[in-house]
Every structure is written in C-alpha cells, then in structure tokens.
Amino acid sequence: MARITRDQIEPAIRQGGSYRIDNGAEPRFALGQTVRTLAPNAWHHTRLPAYAKGKRGEIVAQRGSFVFPDTNAHGGGEQPQHVYSVRFTGRELWGDAARANDVLHLDLWESYLEPVAERS
C-alpha cells in the first residue's frame, strides 16, 4: 500500500473520494427484513460496535456496496460488500435501561448480518 506524504494530506482531504464500488452482487437483505448481527471474536478493530453484537434489528435502507474496511485495512484487499442501515430499538441494545421509544440506526456491512426467521 502506498503511503502519502505530509504535503499530500490536505489536498487529499479537500478532494475527497468515495469507497463506493459496484460489487456486481444483488443485496442479500431486503427493506423491512429482520436481521441479527453476528458476534465474531475478531482480533482486530471492526465497524460493528460491541454493544450491537448478537442483536436483532430491521433493515431500513440499502446504501450500496463499498470497500470492506476490515479486510482492506489489513492488506486483504477491498472485498466490496453491500451496506445496510439497520434500525435497533434501545431496549434491544441496552435492555430496560433504555426508554421504550429509543432507536438507533447503524450502517453495517453485509457480512456482519444474518437473516432471522420470522416467528409465526
């Protein structure tokens, strides 16, 4: 991976850029679908907050596919994945300490999620 020099930092920030990449795959999850976050025992930093591991939420938006930072940051390549906005209730995340109407939306990569069978 090429390193940038100190004099390249400010122009790079001003120019900006996107890590959005079409991975050619259809999204695995649909709007309104119930999902559960996985609870991987990762040895490195991930974009899945610890308080959200193993929790149920609802897909409320599909954001497109983007470079997967977990692999890209560790030399494993871009491996683009779909990103979803997942709505969690406060009670799901923090139990009875949360107010009944509290919600939190997290944008999460597809590999952090698994489908949840709906109860009949």
The CATH number of the domain where 61 resides is what?
Answer: 2.30.30.50
Residue 92 domain-assigned (yes or no): yes
Residue 80 domain-assigned (yes or no): yes
Token readout for 84 is 């979803």
> What are the strands, taking DSSP E only, across 15-96?
34-37, 56-66, 81-89
Residue 78 domain-assigned (yes or no): yes
Residue 33 domain-assigned (yes or no): yes
Q: How many CB atoms lie within 10 A of CB 18?
A: 8
Tell me the residue range of the domain where 54 lies.
Answer: 19-115
What percent of the chain lies above the pLDDT cut of 70?
A: 92
Instruction: Give the pLDDT of residue 21.
Output: 87
Token readout for 11 is 């122009």
**Residue 69 banded pLDDT, cuts 50, 70, 90:** confident
The residue assigned the tokens 């109407």 is 101
Total tally of structural domains belonging to the chain: 1
Whether 81 and 66 have beta carbons less than 8 Å apart is answered as yes
Residue 38 domain-assigned (yes or no): yes
Residue 7 domain-assigned (yes or no): no
Rounded to an integer, the average pLDDT of 62-69 is 93
Residue 4 domain-assigned (yes or no): no
Rounded to an integer, the average pLDDT of 24-29 is 95
